[in-house]
Structure 1
Amino acid sequence: MDRQISRRDLFDGVAAVAACAALGRHPGAAAAAAGGVTVGDALTARGLHQPARSQGLRGNTPDSLGVAHALRDGRFWERAGTPEPTGESYDLVVVGAGISGVTAAYTWVRHDPRARVLVLDNHDDVGGHARRNEFHPAGRSGPLIGHGGSRALYAPSAWSPDGRDLLARLGVEARRQDEHGDAGLYPGLRMHDGVFCDRESFGTDRLVVLDPGATTAQWVGELPIAAQARRDLVMLFDDPPDWFPGLSDTGKKERLAGLTYAGFLRDVCRVHPDAVRFCQTMPNAAWAYGSDALGAIDAWAGADRFTYPGFAGMGLDGTRPSAYNARRVARRWAAPDGEVYCFPEGNQALVRMMVGRLVPGFAGATSMEEITTTSFDYGRLDRPANQVRVRLSSPVVLVRNDGPPDAAATATVGYFDGHRVRTVRAGAVVMACWNAVIPYLVEDLPDEQKEAMRQAVKLPVVSATAQLRGWHAFQRAGIRRARFTGAYWVTAELAPPVSAGSYRCPRGPAEPINVHLVHTPAVPGMAPRDAAVAGRRRLSGTPYDRLEYGVREQLTRLLGPWGFDPARDIEGLTVNRWGHGYAPEYARPWDAFHPHGPFPADTARRRFGRIAIANADSVPGADADAAVSAACRAVRDLRNARGAVPG
C-alpha cells in the first residue's frame, strides 16, 4: 500500500488552495510573472497540455478555480490592476471550452464561415467535464484510454433536433456501438454487477455478486444485514403490496412526488433500517446523491431487476412518464438505447472532433473512426493566423456590453493571463460557463437574473481512473462493477469494452485495463443544493494523496481475497475532481415548481444585450445533449437579435 504509483503527477490540492488564498490571484501567476510568460505558456512548458500527461489531479484543480474563487470572495480586483486591451477583435467570444462552448463556436462558424472566434477557458484542456485519461502500460501496443467525466451519450435517439444534427454533422452514429463495443465480453466471462456491503454500513466487508440467474432470496441471503432486513428486501423486490390502495394512478404518483426514495422505504414501506441503508447508494453514480435525496417518483421510473425495489405492486402506468419525473428520467420512455459508449475517452471525442475542424492542424484526423488514436497539437490552438482561436488557462473575469444592453453593438471580455487582465472586443458573447459564476463576470445583469443563476448549484463528483496491469482478480471475483453501500468511493467499474478505429479495448484478463471509480461528496441528510455545498467544502480540504490512498484501499478490500495487490497491480492513476460537476435537474420533492413552473432557468438564460447564455445549467440537464442544445439556442438568440452578424 505504501509503494508509489509509477505514472502519476502528484498535485496537492490543499497546498495549492492555500497558496492561491495567500496570493489572492491565479496559482500560476507567480511562476508565470517570473518567467515573463502566461499561465498557458507555463503549463505548456510543464507538458500539461499534452494528452499523455493526464495523470495525477485533474479537473477542477486549484489552478483552474483560483481566479474564480478570488472573484467570488471579492479579492481579485484588489490586486489585478487596470485591464489592458490586447487590440484583438472577434465576431464571437465564447466563455468556456466544454461541450457547450465548443458547440457554440462550431455552430456560429457554420452559419458564418468567415467569422473570427475566440474561445476562452480556465482549464488547461478542452472539453470541460468531458476529459480523456491516457496511460501507456508496458506490453501494450499503443495507449490505454479512458474517460474522466462525461463518459457516454445518454439516450441519443431522444436527443433534441440540435443534438441529433450535431452528431450527424460530425459523423457520429450512435447506433454503431455494436461495431465498436462488445457487450457480451464480461457476461461471457461470467462477470456481473456486484454490491459490496462495506464495514462503514454494516460493520463488515462482504461482496455479493448479483448473478442474473440467482433468485432474490439467494443473493439477499448473502447480505450481512439483519434477518428482518433480508425478509423486507425479498418482499420489496419480489412481492410488494399496493402501498396506496384506493388512489388513482395520478394520485399515487402525486404521493410519490412528495417523497424521497429513502423516505418511501422508511415511512411508507416501514422496512428495517438495514434495508434502507442497503439502498442508500443506488442512485449516487447517476445523480451524485443518495436515496435520501432521490425523489421516489424518479426511483419508480428507474427501477429494474436489482435497483429501486418496492413499486411493483402499485399497478402504476409505466407506458409513459409522470409529469413529476425529472427531465433525464422522462427521456427513457422515448429512448430504448440508454447510455451509448461510442468512444473509450467518452464525450471529449466530440469536443476534439469540433476543435479539429475549427483549428487547422490541431487534430491529425477528425472522423469517428480516427479521433481516438490520432495525434493532437495543442500548440496550434491559439495562433494569431487562426480564424478560430482557443486560449486555455485564461479565466474570464469580466464581460460587459459596450453601452446600454438594448443598444450595444459590441461587448468587452476580460481574462486573466497569469499576471494581468487583458481585454478583447466582441461582436457577440456566449457564456458557456457555469450559471453560478456568471453574476461575478457580468456585474450589471438584472438582479432577478443573477438570483435565478445562483439557483443552479452544481453537484460535486470525483471520477478516478486507475490503470491496472491486469484484471484476473475481477474475473475471479465474478464482477465487472461493484456498488459500495457506504464507503468513500461509491462504485468501481471495469472500463466499458469499447473499441474505435484502430484502438482495441482489452479483451483478456491478463491485459492492462482501466477501472473507473466514482465518489459523490454531497453530504447525506440534506437537500441536494445544501448537500452539494457542504460536500464541495469537504472535497476542497481533501489532498490528492488521500484520494490516491482511498483508491488503493477500497480496491484491496474489494478484490484482495481474489489475489489483488495494489502495489503490484495499480500502475497509473488519474483523479478528475469536479467540485462543480453535474448540472442540477429540477426534481421532486425539492423543486415544488416542477413541473408547472415558473422555472429559474427560464429567467437565467435570457439574452442580455450582446451576451447570451449557454451551458447545461441553462436547460437544466446533466448530459451532453443539454449542453449542445443550450449552445445552439444561445447562438440563435444572438443571431436573431438586432444587429446580429449576417450569414
Structure 2
Amino acid sequence: MDRPISRRDFADGVALAGLAAWAAGGCAGPYEPDWGEAWGDLGEAADAYPPAWQGLQGDTADAMAVPDALHGRRFWRHAGVPRPTGERYDLVVVGAGVSGMTAAYRWWSQDPDARILVLDNHDDVGGRARRNEFRPAGRAGPLVGYGGPPSAPSPPSPCDREAAGLLAGLLAEAGVGPGAFDGRARYRKLGMRDGVFCDRESFGTDKLVVLRPDWIGELPMTHEGQAELAHLLRDAPDWFPGLSEAEKKGRLAGLGYAAFLREVCRAGPEVIRFCHTMPVRERALTSELISALDAWSMAGPHSFPGFGGLGLRRSATDPSPGRSSGDVGDVWCLPDGDHGLIRLMVRRMIPEVAAGDPAEDVTLAPFDYERLDRPGNRVRVRLSSPAVLVRNDGSADAAASATVGYYDGEAVRTVRAGAVVLACPHGVIPHLVPDLPPEWRDALERTVRAPVLCATAQLRNWRSWHAAGVDRVRFTGAYWPDVRLAPSLDTATYRAPADPDEPILAYLVRPAVRADAGADPRAAVAAGRRELTAVPYRHLEFTVREQLARLLGAHGFDPARDVQGLTINRWTHGVPLGPTAERPAKRFGRIAIAGSDSAPGANAAITTAILAVDELRADRPDSAARSGQGV
C-alpha cells in the first residue's frame, strides 16, 4: 500500500514533517512523488488551478495563520499600521463560501453596476465548499468532486422562497431540472445498496452487512442486541406519554442522541456502539454531539432508532433533515456539490473567468483564477486575503460607510465600503469588529465549529464496489466512518461514471472531535483540533488505503493499484456545533452577518445572505448608494 500519490505540495508544516515515513502506518519504502502525474492535460497551468491540487488542502497553515493569530491576540503585535489602498466598493463581503458568494450575487443581481469585493483567507473560492478535480487517463474530461463537509443543499423548498428562487434559477442554468437530485439512483439500478461495516474497533471483528430486508440478523451482535435494535427501529414506544408534541420535541432538544439511547431507551452497549457514527453522513458529528431532536429529523428505516412511537410531525422550525433523510439516497444538486453553485454565481458576475458561452454548463468550464481580481472588474474576488479589521466609519447609528482591512501577505491593506457582509465563521467576528456590542460579542463567541476531515480518492474503477453490492457504507468505529462513491449526477455536459469499469471518485469523512475530552463542547473540539493538526499526511493517506482494502479487498480491490489520486481536505473549523444564539439586532451600522453558523446547511447559508443584503440595501444612507469607483 506504499504506492506514492502525486501531489502539488504540502503548504502546511505539519504535513511536511510527516513526509519521512508512514506515521503509525507500518509501511516502508521511499517517498518519491511524481509532481507531473496529477495534472493530466493541464500541464503547468495546474499550479494556478486549486481544484486540481492533491495532497493536504483545506484549512492549511497558510490559510489559518492569520485567523489563528487574531484569535490568539497575536496578530496586531507584528502587523504594522494599516495602509489604505484607495479602493472603494458598494459592498465588501468577508468569506467566499456559499453564504458570502450569495451575498455578492444578491447585491449584484439588484445592482449590476455595483462595485463588489469578496475577501477570503483560502486559496480557492468556496471556502469549505471546495472542489476536487482529477483527470484519469482515458477519460474525456475531468472527474469532478466535492471536498467539503456535509452541507449540500436540498432541492428548492417553499419554506425559503427567496433562497429557493435563487437556487432554482442557478440549477436551471446548469441544466439540472426537477427530479435530478438523487445521486444514488444509478447505483440502485445496478442492485447496489447502503451497507454498514461493523468493524474491529467497535465489535472486535470486521463484517460488511448490506442493508437488505433481513440485515439485522447478519450483524455481529448477540441475539439480545439484535432484538433490541430491531425493537427500537420498528416498535419503539411513546417514551413521553401525556406530553404534548411541543413538549416532546423540547425534551428531545435537551438531550444528546447518545444520552437519549442510554437514559430514555435504556439501550445496551451494543446498540449504542452501533449508532455511534450514524450522524456522520449528514452532520459530520457523532451521536454524543447532536441532539435527539436532530437525530429524529434524520431517522429512517435503517437509522436513528428509538423515535417511532412518539408520533411527531415535522414543522418549519424543526432541524433540517439533511441530504438523505429516510435512507432514500443523497440529495445532491451538482457533481461538485455546493461549489457548483458558487461557480455559477462567479461566472455570472465575472464572465471573463471562464472561457466559452456563459449559457453552457459551468461544471466543465476551467476557471482562470488570475481574472478573479482584475482592476477593471465590477466584482472582484481576492483570495489568500484574510480580513483582519471591520469597523463602521463613525458611530453605528450614523455611519454611511465602513472600513475593511485585510492582510495580503506583506501588510494590512484597507478599503472603504458602503456596506459589509460578514459571511465568515461567527467565532472570528468579535476579533474583526473591535466595537461590537457586548450582547453580539457574547452570542458570537459561543459558536463552535467542529473539525472534520474530507478525503476524495480517485479510483481506477468501481468493480469491487459493484461486486460487494454497496455504494455507500457506514463504519461503526473505524477512522473514516463515512465511505461512499461520489453521487452519480449528470449535467448538460458532464457525464458521471456509469460503468463499473470506469474511473470514479470515492468520498471519506471523519469527524475529529474528542468526545471523551469532557462535557464542554469547546474542550472536545479543541482536543480534536489539536489531534487533527498533529496527524501527518502520510498517515492519513495510509488510513484511506487501509480502510478501503478492509471494505473491498475480498472483492478484488488492491489499495496500491486502485487508488490513483488523493486529496484530503482538513477543515480545522469545519461544521457548526449548534447555531448561534439569536442576536438582538439585525445589523450593526453598515455591517451585517450571514453564514451557516446561524443555522446548519447551505439553504440556511443562502437565506441568511439574502436577509443580510436586503437589510443593508433597505437601510443604506443616500450617500452610500454609490460609494465610488474602485481603484
- What residue in structure 2 maps to residue 290 of structure 1? 286
Shift of residue 436, structure 1, vs aligned partner: 0.7
Shift of residue 247, structure 1, vs aligned partner: 4.9
Shift of residue 602, structure 1, vs aligned partner: 2.2
The 5 A counterparts of 1:53-452 are 53-149=52-148, 152-170=152-170, 172=172, 176=177, 178=179, 183-211=184-212, 214-215=213-214, 219-245=215-241, 247=243, 249-312=245-308, 314=309, 316-321=310-315, 325-326=318-319, 328-329=320-321, 340-364=331-355, 370-452=361-443
Shift of residue 479, structure 1, vs aligned partner: 0.8
- What residue in structure 1 maps to residue 608 of structure 2? 630
Letter in 2 for 1:611: I
- What residue in structure 2 maps to residue 601 of structure 1? 582
Q: Could you list the per-position Cα deviations for residues 165-207 of structure 1 after superposition, in whole angstroms to 9, with x for gaps in the alignment? A: 2124435389725458674321222211111111111122111
Shift of residue 12, structure 1, vs aligned partner: 4.9
- What residue in structure 1 maps to residue 503 of structure 2? 512
Shift of residue 240, structure 1, vs aligned partner: 3.2
The structure-2 alpha-carbon separation of the partners of 1:419 and 1:629, relative to structure 1 and needing over 3 Å to count, comes to: same
d(CA) in 1 for partners of 2:279, 2:459: 26
Q: Identity over aligned residues, as a percent?
A: 53
Letter in 2 for 1:147: Y
The structure-2 alpha-carbon separation of the partners of 1:95 and 1:12, relative to structure 1 and needing over 3 Å to count, comes to: closer
Where does the alignment leave 5 or more consecutive residues of structure 2 unmatched? 19-43, 627-631
Shift of residue 556, structure 1, vs aligned partner: 1.1
d(CA) in 2 for partners of 1:336, 1:366: 38
d(CA) in 2 for partners of 1:615, 1:162: 16
Q: Could you list the per-position Cα deviations for residues 319-366 of structure 1 after superposition, in whole angstroms to 9, with x for gaps in the alignment? A: 43496x43x149999x99995322111111111111112123112357
d(CA) in 2 for partners of 1:557, 1:513: 19
Query: Do the aligned partners of 1:483 and 1:491 also contact (CA within 8 Å) in 2?
Result: yes
SS in 2 for 1:516: strand
SS in 1 for 2:398: coil
The structure-2 alpha-carbon separation of the partners of 1:423 and 1:256, relative to structure 1 and needing over 3 Å to count, comes to: closer
d(CA) in 2 for partners of 1:280, 1:3: 33
d(CA) in 1 for partners of 2:163, 2:533: 34
Shift of residue 572, structure 1, vs aligned partner: 0.4
d(CA) in 2 for partners of 1:254, 1:91: 43
SS in 2 for 1:154: coil
Letter in 2 for 1:101: G
d(CA) in 2 for partners of 1:201, 1:369: 49
Letter in 2 for 1:567: A
- What residue in structure 1 maps to residue 555 of structure 2? 562
- What residue in structure 2 maps to residue 595 of structure 1? none
Select between 633-642 and 60-69 the one with higher mean Cα deviation.
Answer: 633-642
The structure-2 alpha-carbon separation of the partners of 1:467 and 1:177, relative to structure 1 and needing over 3 Å to count, comes to: farther
SS in 1 for 2:506: strand
d(CA) in 1 for partners of 2:110, 2:465: 50
Shift of residue 310, structure 1, vs aligned partner: 2.4
Letter in 1 for 2:605: A
Shift of residue 47, structure 1, vs aligned partner: 4.9
Letter in 2 for 1:98: G
Shift of residue 48, structure 1, vs aligned partner: 4.7
Query: Do the aligned partners of 1:584 and 1:621 also contact (CA within 8 Å) in 2?
Result: no
Shift of residue 72, structure 1, vs aligned partner: 1.4
SS in 2 for 1:601: coil
Shift of residue 302, structure 1, vs aligned partner: 2.5
State how many pairs are aligned.
Answer: 597
Query: Do the aligned partners of 1:364 and 1:374 also contact (CA within 8 Å) in 2?
Result: yes
Select between 119-128 and 158-167 the one with higher mean Cα deviation.
Answer: 158-167
Query: Do the aligned partners of 2:96 and 2:118 also contact (CA within 8 Å) in 1?
Result: yes
Select between 511-520 and 89-98 the one with higher mean Cα deviation.
Answer: 89-98
d(CA) in 2 for partners of 1:418, 1:387: 24
The structure-2 alpha-carbon separation of the partners of 1:365 and 1:106, relative to structure 1 and needing over 3 Å to count, comes to: farther
- What residue in structure 2 maps to residue 21 of structure 1? none
SS in 1 for 2:465: helix
d(CA) in 1 for partners of 2:255, 2:534: 33
SS in 1 for 2:289: coil
d(CA) in 2 for partners of 1:609, 1:206: 58
- What residue in structure 1 maps to residue 494 of structure 2? 503
- What residue in structure 2 maps to residue 573 of structure 1? 566
- What residue in structure 2 maps to residue 25 of structure 1? none
Select between 514-523 and 545-554 the one with higher mean Cα deviation.
Answer: 545-554
d(CA) in 2 for partners of 1:105, 1:141: 34
- What residue in structure 2 maps to residue 32 of structure 1? none
Which one of the candidate residues 607, 611, 630 is aligned to 2:591?
611
d(CA) in 2 for partners of 1:238, 1:250: 23
SS in 2 for 1:275: helix
- What residue in structure 1 maps to residue 538 of structure 2? 545
- What residue in structure 2 maps to residue 41 of structure 1? none
SS in 2 for 1:389: strand
Query: Do the aligned partners of 2:347 and 2:354 also contact (CA within 8 Å) in 1?
Result: yes
Query: Do the aligned partners of 2:225 and 2:268 also contact (CA within 8 Å) in 1?
Result: yes
d(CA) in 2 for partners of 1:336, 1:463: 21
d(CA) in 1 for partners of 2:136, 2:264: 52
- TM-score scaled by length of structure 1: 0.86
SS in 2 for 1:460: strand
Where does the alignment leave 5 or more consecutive residues of structure 1 unmatched? 19-44, 587-598
The 5 A counterparts of 1:524-535 are 524-525=515-516, 526=519, 528-535=521-528
Select between 243-252 and 428-437 the one with higher mean Cα deviation.
Answer: 243-252
- What residue in structure 2 maps to residue 590 of structure 1? none
- What residue in structure 1 maps to residue 485 of structure 2? 494
Shift of residue 298, structure 1, vs aligned partner: 2.9
Shift of residue 140, structure 1, vs aligned partner: 0.9
Shift of residue 222, structure 1, vs aligned partner: 2.1
Shift of residue 583, structure 1, vs aligned partner: 2.7
SS in 2 for 1:156: coil
1:583 aligns with 2:579: no
The structure-2 alpha-carbon separation of the partners of 1:608 and 1:258, relative to structure 1 and needing over 3 Å to count, comes to: closer
Letter in 1 for 2:612: A
Query: Do the aligned partners of 1:151 and 1:341 also contact (CA within 8 Å) in 2?
Result: no
Q: Could you list the per-position Cα deviations for residues 511-551 of structure 1 after superposition, in whole angstroms to 9, with x for gaps in the alignment? A: 10000000001222545444333322221222222211111
* CA RMSD after TM alignment: 2.9
- What residue in structure 2 maps to residue 23 of structure 1? none
Letter in 2 for 1:172: A
